[in-house]
Structure 1
């Protein structure tokens, strides 16, 4: 019995979702995706890795440890108050082909759109590129994947500087103070993985506001529409005949 186009598409989407969770390239046809995922899982097994419910800690000295933390379920906890603002958050980070869960990604772009919760209108935006310090030279794979050029990050401030400026931005709106706020991300990776790794590489504590409950839009979309698997931004927009902007 031949599989229907719908079931075939589900399988491809599942493969891409699994690759995205490992920070791997999700482009290509089904055979390429399956081969890429098999290689990644074999490499994990060979290294004794298992990332279910865990986080990578990229230590400043280059060592990497895996530990269970309280941050794992932040996107699953219920909100205990009415939210005034949403911070739509989608970072870009360093990456290298062939690496999976254990790569010490550094954030190279830090963009936020601030939405008023009642109207969902954008009231302000924050954006900064970020200069990586542990691996300052971007790989060809990273440049192709993100579209961010080497000279852009070379001229950018480091992560701690960007974080301080961002905190001043949040203070203008009394976010996480008088006004309740929540980050909104496309999947758990931006906060659970990239922010956590970056703070360890920068040798700073992860700010408490990144441990507040946040909205994982993939998870929320899947549960609300009772889907079997998560859907990426392209899939969500397609459902409503909307075009991606940005």
Structure 2
């Protein structure tokens, strides 16, 4: 839910040092003719097999080549950047800094893939994008108890980079069953929709069953992705207390895409709102703002673009004993557990 998230206390982004995610190699000549002298790999080094768990050896000549090419990219105009991206059949939309990052990561992937192909099995098979809508009042007074009224999930396949399926159910609030006019106008969720909906425990059970049917946590690895910290650390946390449920184990860790976006594109926090991220990436919002499902789909579009640009989206936040914590980027990638319905308190 977009509006109350903006009141989350300001925090600086931790350094994450995300590595580039590999993609298909383009046939043809090296990316930059001007850098032919610095684009030759030591073929003996190509034959070496190093474990993915070992830290990169930055003394390797390939990193000097990447650094030199990054300097060349920094001197390019926006038109030159777009022309080069078009040459490699890459997306040419976005502001200049985004185009630079896209081109740098393409070249980095090319050089590192020549040296050692990365193992796609080390990454999540699916990302579940979740953006709850909750009861709210104008001004978001601190005393208001936010209850979830829309539970959406967008299932993003990280191999095909396509939205494979969606889940959506409305929820009938218990404490404040009457929605405010502000909430109705903001979310587009009518009083009739929530009056006819199930209460949260039943909806959560439906979501768990749906995720299990998709093989998440058993046949396929997955993680949850949200637009900020509030969906899990506040809305779901509060709702579980209201519904007298234990907090679900599968939702204890997630990717905060705002934090990932800020670290990857090197932008301040005030440029990581959903609408701003879309704009900076050259995309328009598709659907109705503050619809949980439409928000989730648009967040998934941002995730796709970031993966295409070379960002390895990974868990960066978790909830531990009700406290929001940052997860280090050096933590090994590990999928969420099989979804289970939590016990009642």
Same fold (TM over 0.5): yes
C-alpha distance in 2, partners of 1:52/1:172?
38
Where do residues 60-99 of structure 1 align in structure 2 (5 Å cutoff)? 82-99=123-140
C-alpha distance in 2, partners of 1:120/1:102?
41
The structure, 1 or 2, with the larger RCO (C-alpha pairs under 8 Å, 6+ apart) is 2
C-alpha distance in 1, partners of 2:244/2:3?
30
Distance apart, 1:102 and its partner CA? 4.2
8 Å contact 1:22–1:101 — kept in the other structure? no
8 Å contact 2:172–2:198 — kept in the other structure? yes
- The residue number in structure 1 matching 2:259 is 219
Where do residues 1-246 of structure 1 align in structure 2 (5 Å cutoff)? 20-22=5-7, 82-211=123-252, 213-230=253-270, 231-246=272-287
Distance 1:20 1:207, change over 3 A: closer
TM-score (structure 2 length as normaliser): 0.48
- The residue number in structure 1 matching 2:109 is none
Distance apart, 1:178 and its partner CA? 3.3
- What are the superposed Cα offsets for residues 29-76 of structure 1, whole Å, 9 maximum, x if unpaired? xxxxxxxxxxxxxxxxxxxxxx789xxxxxxxxxxxxxxxxxxxxxx9
Q: Any runs of at least 4 consecutive aligned residues in structure 1 with deviations exceeding 6 A, and if so which?
A: none
Please give the secondary structure, in 1, of the residue aligned with 2:137.
coil
TM-score (structure 1 length as normaliser): 0.66
C-alpha distance in 1, partners of 2:275/2:175?
32
- The residue number in structure 1 matching 2:38 is none
C-alpha distance in 2, partners of 1:228/1:198?
31
| Larger strand proportion of the pair | 1
Distance apart, 1:82 and its partner CA? 2.3
Distance apart, 1:144 and its partner CA? 1.6
CA-based RMSD of the aligned residues comes to: 2.5
8 Å contact 1:91–1:108 — kept in the other structure? yes
8 Å contact 2:4–2:140 — kept in the other structure? no
C-alpha distance in 2, partners of 1:137/1:131?
9
C-alpha distance in 2, partners of 1:114/1:18?
24
Moved more, 200-209 or 166-175: 166-175
C-alpha distance in 1, partners of 2:143/2:223?
28
Which structure has the greater CA radius of gyration? 2
C-alpha distance in 2, partners of 1:166/1:18?
24
C-alpha distance in 2, partners of 1:97/1:21?
13
Unaligned stretches of 5+ residues in structure 2: 19-52, 54-121, 288-345
C-alpha distance in 2, partners of 1:90/1:21?
14
